[in-house]
Chains A and B, each alone.
Chain A
Amino acid sequence: MRIRILIIAALLNIVGAVAAQAHAFLEHANPLVGSTVASAPREVSLTFTQNLEASFSSVQVTDGNGARVDQGKPQVSGNTMRVGLKSLSAGTYRVRWQVLSVDTHKTEGSFAFTVGGR
């Protein structure tokens, strides 16, 4: 019984002393995830729940044929990553991102948005 109480106390001790970074989840995207926008955006902006390591975070945007339509290296500032876009015509585009939060947790994801009324 005494050993078990010691173990539970040790576990509670773990809970008591928390650091402060974690996996970076996508909190907000512009254009919105799954949205249809009337006019072609000039950039994709992704905001995460944690600050990012710029050197190890990336995003690419492709058209329906899989061709890249982003302008290359993204800009990372704090918890936000932006990438400029080429001139987009009407159609559906896919954003694929992969980020490393400042405490070295990797996360990834992808979503689509549509330009025009298609």
Chain B
Amino acid sequence: MFRSSSCVRAFTLALLLVALSVAEAFAHCFVGPRFLPATLATDDPCVADELSLPTVQWSKTGDQPPATEWDISAELSKRITEDLGISIGDTWSQIHQPGGFTAAGFGNFETTVQYQLLKDGPHELALLLGLVVEWGGTGAIHSGLAEPWSTLTPTFYFGKGFGDLPDSFGWLRAFAVTGQVGYSFPTRSFDVDAGVFIPQTLVYGGSIQYSMPYLKSEIRDYQLPDFINHLIPIVEAQFTTPVANNFGNSPITIGTINPGVIWVGTYFQVGAEAVIPVNRASGTGVGFLGQLHLYLDDMFPSTIGRPLLGGGSSAPPQQLKF
């Protein structure tokens, strides 16, 4: 276990150093004229050079009585080629039980490899495949905040803007949806310590979003205040449903619905969402989720904002044609 943990950390550091030192350019999630922002609770359908630092969540667990939980996480995403990207991330959590007991520590390291299947500009459609790996034994196992086993989640992501609807649809064309579906299976089937089966789960979610920047630049400029023109109101939802190897555990789907808003700037975006549990097993009361998200490709267009391979900074830009 120690060896595995060291390898993951060494890989992470090496990755970061490479990301800091090398150089091609282009976008975060642009699909034709549509910009899909980085979503807070789910993932957007593009590979990109981005940094979410921090993402902060406050919520109350579904325990009886409920515990108070803080989660602070960071995630760095980096393109290897124009269509292939990787991400590394980790979360520090603190859970305070009523009565004074507090557990705190890091969760397991998480890495993601993603491949951009499609970016169809005229139809504002993006498709992405990914493999999320939570590396067992790299977090605070003894605090109960991480598991000793790893979890693999092959995931399909999509995003679709409705700007290709006829002009007669007017302001409705500023809507877009994103979604993801993954199948999560642990590398162990039974937790000997707790004496329970470890279920395989379906992990799915998505967002519906309304782009004020799109309304202003593609449909109609109502000359609203600049601040309003940078907003993307959004509702996200995320769910986990046990589907196999769940003997003796609860079969209940857990999840949250998160209404909120994202402010999109030139170099970064800021998002805030309420976190509403869909049932008692998912949490107690309304929580909060906030994120500062940095566009590395815009901040560092000639260095770490470019894919590591597939083009150099000296390459001339492609001639634009109609």
Contact of B32 with A by CB under 8 A: yes
Distance of A94 from chain B, by nearest CB (Å): 9
Select which of A8, A50, A60, A104 is within 8 A of B322 by beta carbon.
A60
The reply to whether B301 and A105 form a contact with Cβ atoms under 8 Å apart is yes
A37 CB, nearest partner CB in chain B, Å: 13
Q: Which residues of B contact A60 (CB under 8 A)?
A: 322
**Are B33 and A110 neighbours in the complex by a CB distance under 8 Å?**
yes
Q: Give the nearest-CB partner of A21 in chain B.
A: B301
- Taking a contact as CB atoms under 8 Å apart, the answer to whether B320 and A105 are in contact is no
A1 and B33 CA atoms in complex are apart in Å by 43
Residues A47-66 near B (CB distance < 8 A): 49-50, 53, 56-58, 60
Is there an interface contact between B297 and A56, defined as CB atoms closer than 8 Å? no
**Is A12 among interface residues, defined by CB-CB distance under 8 A?**
yes
In the assembled complex, the Cα of A73 lies from the Cα of B220 at a distance in Å of 26
Chain B contact residues, majority secondary structure: mixed
Q: How many residues of B sit at the interface, in one of the four size bands?
A: 35 or more
Please tell me which one of the listed residues A34, A58, A104 contacts residue B317 in the complex, with CB atoms under 8 A apart.
A104
A25 to B223, CA, bound (A): 15
Inter-chain CA distance A18–B215, complex, in Å, is 29
13 further contact pairs, Cβ within 8 A, besides A14-B20, A33-B216, A49-B266: A3-B9, A7-B90, A11-B53, A28-B221, A32-B223, A33-B221, A56-B318, A103-B301, A103-B302, A105-B25, A106-B27, A106-B317, A106-B320
Q: Which residues of A contact B (CB under 8 A)?
A: 1, 3-4, 6-8, 10-12, 14-15, 18-19, 21-23, 25-26, 28-29, 32-35, 49-50, 53, 56-58, 60, 96, 98, 100, 103-112
